[in-house]
Structures are given as C-alpha cells and as structure tokens.
Amino acid sequence: MTRRLLLGAFLFHPGGSHVSGWRHETAEPHRHVDVDYYADFAETAERGVFDTIFLADGLYFWDRFPSGVDHYGQTRLEPLTLLSALAARTSRIGLAATVSTSYNEPYHVARALASLDHISQGRAAWNLVTSRYPEEARNFGGDAHLDHALRYERGAEFVALVQQLWDSWADDAILADQESGIFADPDKLHTPEHRGAHFAVRGPLNVSRPPQGYPVLFQAGGSDAGQELAAATADAVFARSLPLAEAQRFYAGLKARVVAHGRDADDLAILPQLRPVVAETTEEARTIAAGILSSTPDAIVVEDVAHSIGQALPDDPDAVIVVAPGAGTDSDIANESKSPNRRLARLQSGERLTARDLYAESFWESVSVGSAREIADDVQERFENGAADGFVVQALTQPQGFRDFVDLVVPELQRRGLTRTAYEESTLRDRLGLARPARRLPEPVLR
Ligand SMILES: Cc1cc2nc3c(=O)[nH]c(=O)nc-3n(C[C@H](O)[C@H](O)[C@H](O)COP(=O)(O)O)c2cc1C
C-alpha cells in the first residue's frame, strides 16, 4: 500500500494560530462564538480532503499577563460541544477534541467521546493532554498545577481506564428484542470495578461500545514522559515543528520507543505542526508573513518571551536580555512543560538578544513561507525523509490563511500523489489505516 501523507486542520485561537491572526484584514473576529464560523472551517478542511480537524484547548483564560486580556483573541467554544454540532454539518472528516487528563474524570470523558463517536458515526478523536498551566488548577479547586510526573502517571491510568469503560459492552450486547423484552445481554457486559492510585470507578459505561472501538487517540506532550505515554498508547502524536535534522531525530527516537513497547513503528503516526503562509510568489508570501509578525503588539512580544524563559523583562522589546541565574528552573515554568526550552538555551549560550529578536526568531523558524510549490517541496522532503507521517496545519490567520492552503497547496500535494483526492473509508480509524481495537477484558481469575 502506498504511504499516504496525513493532514489535520488545527484551531486554537479562533482567529488563527498566530496570536494576532484576528487582526488580519481578512479575519472575522466578531464571529469567534458563532457555530457557522467553525462549520465553515470544517467544510473547508473537508473540501481539502483532510483526515481530521483538530481543536486544541485549555481550561483557563490566559490573563497571567495584561496582554492576554488586551490583545489575545481567546474567547471560543468548548471543543466537545462544538464538535457535536460540527458532526451534523460534515460527513467524512475526523473530529479531534483536546481533553485534559488532569482536570477531568475518566467516566465523563469516556462517555462524552463515546457519544461523539456515535453521533459522528466513527469520526471522533481525543487529543490527550495533561494540561500545562497553573491557571487550570485554579479553576478546579487547586492552587498549584499538579506536578509534571504525577500528571503523566495520572494520564496513563486515565486513558487505560477510559478504554476499559469503552469496553464495558460487547459490540453485540444490545439486543433490543421487543418480543422477549430482553434489551441487553448481561453476559456481554463487563463492569470494570477499577481501583487505582488516582481513580476509583465502578462502571459500566452507559453508552454502548463506540463505532471505532476506541476513538482515535492523539497525544501532544514532547517530554520524556510525554513521549513514553504516546509510545505506549497513542495512535498519533501532534509534535512541535523543528528544523529538519532535529525533526528527524525526534521522529526516529519516538518510533524506537513505539517499537520498544512491542508495537509496530507504523502504529503511531507523527504529525508535526505546519504553519503555512502561501501566496503566488515567495516574495508575496514573505510580505504577508512579515505583516502578521509586525501586527503583534510589543506587550505580547515581551510577555510571551518573559513567560517562556521564566523571568520578568523590561517593557522595551529592544532591550538586551540579561538572563537571571537559574531562569526557567525554579519557577512554575519548569513544571509547565519539560519539552526543550529553545529560547532559554539560545540566551544561555551567551548571545546578546532582545525579546524582539527571540520572538521573531521563533516566528520565522516555525512558519513555512512561500509559493504552493515551495511549501509542497518542504512537506514532501520531510515526509519522504523520516521527519513526518503528515502534518497538523496551523494557518496563521482564519479563515483566509487556511482557505489559501486548501486552494493552493493541497492541489499541489494531490498532483504529487501525496494526499488523497476523495474520501474512501468511512471511519477515521479506517482512514488512518488503524485496526479497530478488539474488546479487552481482564483475564479471569482462576481459583
Ligand atoms: C505540539 C503540542 C501541542 C499541545 N497542545 C496542547 C493543548 O491543546 N492543550 C493543552 O492543554 N496542552 C497542550 N500541550 C501541552 C501538553 O499537554 C503538556 O501538558 C505539556 O506540553 C507539558 O508536557 P511535556 O513536558 O510533555 O511537553 C501541547 C504540547 C505540545 C508539544
């Protein structure tokens, strides 16, 4: 079978994946809680024969810094609720919701995702995150964010338990036999009776087994613990975009972990971020990207860098940064993520850099700017040289930046035979070439 490049369409800030995307002249910032706005996004993705849409999420409002309120466009709809509506407005595309294992309960999550899988006839996916910010803890009765290691321990127990709940009912357990009056076959019901370190859940689930067996599982943490959890359980990983050689190392390392867990390397797809800015010519695309970068208010530039390096900074984005000893290690920042801190590493190498330099550097490093042919070349090179199995496309501006990708880059990828031109399979799992998981029951205890 020819290997096919997978495509996901990403949304976090509704105005686009750049924080100032909502300011672009083509943006529609007054529609961020309008279901039709998101339906248009999903329909565009379906027109481009994407495998899935992918809604990132967090359980907080980012107001740690004044710029979060003043300048970010962050009000948006809750993913599972929104995807249920979008299930009715689309027919083929996957529907991936980000759901945290740190601030939810397994029974709720198992139930909601099983419901979405039934509502969408097998198109649901779960982007499992352990969450990142102390702001989230404060919305759920805590003062501090759970410790990083504990979050992943809880995450591992959480996902195993959710899968047990999805296995409560055999596929043929519901008889609904009106004549005999037998609704369900009790021999085909398993009650998990789970008692673990983090959860005690009796079960069974009150939703029958999802059409996909288990909705498709994405994972997005980049740390050692994050990669281990993904290697053991996930169907796909959403990864940071990295320069080619680093992306190849990450890809090879994660595939090796998958094999070490007794799985096939192909059982886990690695999908880095792709942040395209496409235009007819390279020049034009660079001008559009530069315009988006320069629309970022100075307060965001300073506060974004201050946050990522874990140190307060002066208001002037052009002041040279002097890194405090121990920056990023003794604060909440170290507990937020243990993925590599690239900006801090640059500063610690001793270079004289300003917040504006660092912000611009990460911007240009993360975007893929050019004509459709140039972007397709980069995508193809990564796909064919051990750096990616596909991409999660994060247009910087919505809706136009994403429409441009679908209208200009997707046809180029299709012409090269890299992506499909029509949907064939009906469930997301089938489309990704993943087997439907058999129902797993604990071994009977022999007395
Ligand atoms: C590419 C990427 C995307 C992520 N998306 C989300 C998200 O949408 N919501 C969220 O709460 N956390 C998200 N995370 C954070 C992870 O859930 C995780 O909590 C965080 O990265 C810390 O774990 P780590 O040290 O393994 O990276 C993302 C992380 C990465 C690397």
Question: Which percentage of the chain shows pLDDT scores above 90?
Answer: 87
Instruction: Please tell me the distance from the alpha carbon of residue 111 to that of residue 235, in angstroms, as a whole number.
Output: 20
Q: What pLDDT is stored for residue 210 in this prediction?
A: 98
Q: Lowest mean pLDDT: which of 28-37, 65-74, 155-164, 435-444?
A: 435-444
Distance (angstroms) between ligand 1 centre and the Cα of 336 equals: 9
Structural domain boundaries in the chain: 6-278+368-431
Distance (angstroms) between ligand 1 centre and the Cα of 83 equals: 20
Please identify, by atom number, the ligand 1 atom nearest to the C-alpha of residue 226: 26
State pLDDT tens for residues 359-405.
999 999 999 999 999 999 999 999 999 999 999 999 999 999 999 99
CA Rg value for the chain: 22
Q: What is the DSSP letter of 444?
A: P
75: nearest Cα among 9, 140, 15, 139: 15
Q: What is the DSSP letter of 265?
A: G
Instruction: Please tell me the distance from the alpha carbon of residue 5 to that of residue 400, in angstroms, as a whole number.
Output: 23
Confidence of residue 330 (pLDDT cuts 50, 70, 90): low
Q: What is the DSSP letter of 266?
A: G
Is 330 or 155 the better-scoring residue by pLDDT? Answer: 155
Q: What pLDDT is stored for residue 332 in this prediction?
A: 61
Q: What pLDDT is stored for residue 341 in this prediction?
A: 85
Which residues have CB under 6 Å of ligand 1? 56-58, 98, 100, 129-132, 220-223, 225-226, 238-240, 337-339
Q: Which residue has the tokens 């779960």?
A: 126
Confidence of residue 222 (pLDDT cuts 50, 70, 90): confident
Mean predicted confidence (pLDDT) in 336-346 = 80
Confidence of residue 331 (pLDDT cuts 50, 70, 90): low
Mean predicted confidence (pLDDT) in 157-181 = 97
Q: What pLDDT is stored for residue 445 in this prediction?
A: 58
Name residues whose C-beta falls within 8 Å of residue 226's C-beta, 6 or more positions apart in sequence. 130, 152, 219, 220, 338, 339
Is 339 or 255 the better-scoring residue by pLDDT? Answer: 255
Q: What is the DSSP letter of 363?
A: H
Please, are residues 273 and 392 in contact by the beta-carbon 8 Å criterion?
yes
Q: What pLDDT is stored for residue 446 in this prediction?
A: 63
Instruction: Please tell me the distance from the alpha carbon of residue 156 to that of residue 290, in angstroms, as a whole number.
Output: 42
Please, are residues 313 and 305 in contact by the beta-carbon 8 Å criterion?
yes
Residue owning the nearest CA to atom 16 of ligand 1: 221
Is 340 or 198 the better-scoring residue by pLDDT? Answer: 198
Measured CA to CA in angstroms, residue 64 lies from 50, 69, 70, 148 at distances of: 35, 9, 11, 20
Q: What pLDDT is stored for residue 326 in this prediction?
A: 73
State pLDDT tens for residues 250-286.
999 999 999 999 999 999 999 999 999 999 999 999 9
Q: Is residue 180 classed exposed, middle or buried when 0-12, 13-18 and 19+ CB atoms within 10 A define those classes? A: exposed
Does 57 count as an annotated binding residue? yes
Residue owning the nearest CA to atom 4 of ligand 1: 220
Distance (angstroms) between ligand 1 centre and the Cα of 339 equals: 9
Distance (angstroms) between ligand 1 centre and the Cα of 262 equals: 25
Confidence of residue 342 (pLDDT cuts 50, 70, 90): confident
Reading the block at residue 175, the tokens are 């008889």
Q: Which residue has the tokens 């005999």?
A: 180
Mean predicted confidence (pLDDT) in 6-30 = 96
Question: Which percentage of the chain shows pLDDT scores above 70?
Answer: 97
Confidence of residue 349 (pLDDT cuts 50, 70, 90): confident
Neighbouring CB atoms inside 10 A of 59's CB total 20
CA angle 125, 128, 130 (to 5 degrees): 165
Q: What pLDDT is stored for residue 324 in this prediction?
A: 83
Is pLDDT above 90 for 340?
no
Instruction: Please tell me the distance from the alpha carbon of residue 130 to that of residue 104, in angstroms, as a whole number.
Output: 10
Q: Which residue has the tokens 């992943």?
A: 152
Which of 61, 102, 129 maximizes ligand 1 atoms within 8 Å of its Cβ, making it the mutation to test the pocket? 129
Instruction: Please tell me the distance from the alpha carbon of residue 163 to that of residue 190, in angstroms, as a whole number.
Output: 12
State the Cα torsion 57-229-334-133 to the nearest 10°: 20
Distance (angstroms) between ligand 1 centre and the Cα of 69 equals: 22
Residue owning the nearest CA to atom 2 of ligand 1: 220
Q: What pLDDT is stored for residue 333 in this prediction?
A: 65
Which of 59, 132, 308 maximizes ligand 1 atoms within 8 Å of its Cβ, making it the mutation to test the pocket? 132
Selecting from 3.40.50.2300, 3.40.50.720, 3.30.70.150, 3.20.20.30, what CATH number does the domain 6-278+368-431 have? Answer: 3.20.20.30
Please count the residues of the chain: 447
State pLDDT tens for residues 76-116.
999 999 999 999 999 999 999 999 999 999 999 999 999 99
Q: Which residue has the tokens 């759901």?
A: 99
Residue-averaged pLDDT of the chain: 94
Which of 61, 130, 139, 332 maximizes ligand 1 atoms within 8 Å of its Cβ, making it the mutation to test the pocket? 130
Distance (angstroms) between ligand 1 centre and the Cα of 204 equals: 30
Q: What pLDDT is stored for residue 447 in this prediction?
A: 57
Please identify, by atom number, the ligand 1 atom nearest to the C-alpha of residue 151: 19
Beta strand segments in 245-378, E: 269-278, 367-370
Please identify, by atom number, the ligand 1 atom nearest to the C-alpha of residue 12: 8
Please identify, by atom number, the ligand 1 atom nearest to the C-alpha of residue 240: 1
Distance (angstroms) between ligand 1 centre and the Cα of 227 equals: 11
